[in-house]
Amino acid sequence: MLLSHRYRFLFVHIAKTGGTSVRAALKPLLWRDPWYYPMWLCGRLNHLTGHRLGMKLPRHAKVILAQELLPREYFEGLFKFAFVRNPWDLQVSSFHHIRRERPHYLGGHTDFADFLRWKLDPDRPYQYHLDTSITPQSDYLVDLEGRVIVDDIGRYERLEEDFAGICKRIGIRPLPLPHRRRAQDRKRDWRTYYTDETAELVARHFARDIELFGYHFDP
């Protein structure tokens, strides 16, 4: 999550949706923020205490956290936005990310289909790096009653175009998006990773996202 007091925006960073590139593009704006250094200091103190002080919005926090922590009038005055991604594509991206950077979290499942079955098993022990990418994306964008409370939802599939529109809403010129964390070893067409069985697993688990954002397995 990225909060700017000067530009009055809140970016809700959902994992594996291009958020690292969005953060990298927007981060220099925070340096112009009059609250940047107090916020940085609070973040450092929070880190040194093992995050016991609760003085920083976590990277992948849900918007409901900001709604609860920030003054109501201030929160409602922020331009709140996020990006979402086709759930089937997101799971392929997550698999390659974990295999590349945290292979010990694969649980011995080096095949995508086996890993996906294990990952979506409700009896599997909780693991942060796995479970951030199986939490429905819609959960990050709603209040306690399930209502979407962000102002703009961009799509990973048209990341640059939608980000340019967000820059306009913020009141800045369109910023270039750096390419971050792009897997070099994955196939371009994510559909080739799936069988009918595993595609249905994702369809059931992310049914709310698929309905809310209008995604399909086939374009």
pLDDT tens digits along 147-171: 999 999 999 999 999 999 999 999 9
- Report angle CA 166, 24, 184 to the nearest 5 degrees: 105
In this prediction the pTM is 0.88
Residues 6 or more apart in contact with residue 38 via CB below 8 angstroms: none
Which residues are within 8 A (CB) of 3 and not within 5 positions of it... i.e. 6 or more apart? 9, 10, 11, 39, 57, 66, 78
Q: What is the mean pLDDT of residues 45-57?
A: 66
Q: In angstroms, what CA-CA distances link 32 with 35, 40, 128, 134?
A: 9, 13, 33, 35
Q: Which region, left, alpha or beta, applies to residue 96 given φ > 0 means left and ψ of -120 to 50 means alpha?
A: alpha
Q: How many CB atoms lie within 10 A of CB 190?
A: 18
The mean pLDDT value for 80-85 works out to 98
Q: Which CATH architecture has domain 2-213?
A: 3-Layer(aba) Sandwich (3.40)
Residue 48 to residue 204: CA distance in whole angstroms: 41
Count of all residues that appear for the chain in the document: 219
In whole angstroms, how far apart are CA 97 and each of 23, 24, 102, 157? 18, 18, 8, 18
The answer to whether 16 touches 85, Cβ cutoff 8 Å, is yes
Residue type, position 165, single letter: G
Going by pLDDT thresholds of 50, 70 and 90, the confidence category of residue 177 is very high
Average pLDDT over residues 54-58: 69
Mean pLDDT score across all residues of the chain:
89
pLDDT at 35 > cutoff 90: no
Q: What CA–CA distance (Å, rounded) separates 151 from 22?
A: 17
Check pLDDT > 60 for residue 174.
yes
List Cβ neighbours of 113 (8 Å cut-off, separation of 6 or more): 193, 194, 195, 197, 198
Domain ranges of the chain: 2-213
| Spatial CB neighbours of 139, under 8 Å, sequence gap ≥ 6 | 62
Residue 184, Cβ density class (10 Å: 0-12 exposed, 13-18 middle, ≥19 buried): exposed
Percent of the chain clearing pLDDT 90 (strictly above): 64
